[in-house]
Structures are given as C-alpha cells and as structure tokens.
C-alpha cells in the first residue's frame, strides 16, 4: 500500500492510497463485482478515520497490478 497523498485541515482529512496487487486475479478479487468489495473496504477505512480524526474524510483507494509480477516489488 502506498500513501500517495494525506492532508489534514481544520475541516477535513484527504487521503489517497494505492494498493499494488501481485496479480490481476488478486486485484479482481479485492475489487469484487463492480468494485463493490473495494467500496466496502474503502467505507470501512473511511469510518475508522472519521472516528479517529473527528472530521469529514475523503478517501480514494486505487488498485493496480505489480508491473514486475508476483515475485518482485
């Protein structure tokens, strides 16, 4: 997981993270049908961040396949 952007202001928290998957198959399992599972994961993380910071949270999660394949990072 790479945290690409994280900003806290007096009103909100903005977080953008990218998840690198070892294979396209794993990426599709995480994403789920119509990105439904990824949305559930994102919502769960966002709710935890709202509880932690007591602010409005904007969270963007993206999935990508490791271009070097399964063994290399």
Residue pLDDT, tens place only, 30-72: 998 888 899 999 999 999 999 999 999 999 999 999 988 765 5
28 or 72: whose pLDDT is higher?
Answer: 28
Q: Which residues contact 36 (CB under 8 A, 6 or more apart)?
A: none
How far apart are the C-alpha atoms of 70 and 5, rounded to whole Å?
A: 26
- Residue carrying structure tokens 């198959």: 25
Predicted local confidence at residue 47, as pLDDT: 96
Predicted local confidence at residue 16, as pLDDT: 97
| Each residue's pLDDT tens digit, 61-71 | 999 999 887 65
How far apart are the C-alpha atoms of 14 and 66, rounded to whole Å?
A: 25
Contact at 8 Å (CB) between 18 and 65?
no
């Amino acid at each position: 997981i790479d945290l690409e952007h994280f900003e806290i202001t007096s009103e909100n928290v903005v977080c953008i993270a990218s998840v690198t998957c070892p294979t396209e198959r794993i990426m599709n399992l995480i994403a789920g049908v119509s990105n439904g599972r990824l949305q559930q994961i994102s919502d769960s993380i966002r709710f935890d961040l709202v509880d932690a910071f007591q602010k409005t949270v904007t969270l963007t999660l993206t999935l990508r396949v490791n271009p070097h394949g399964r063994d290399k990072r």
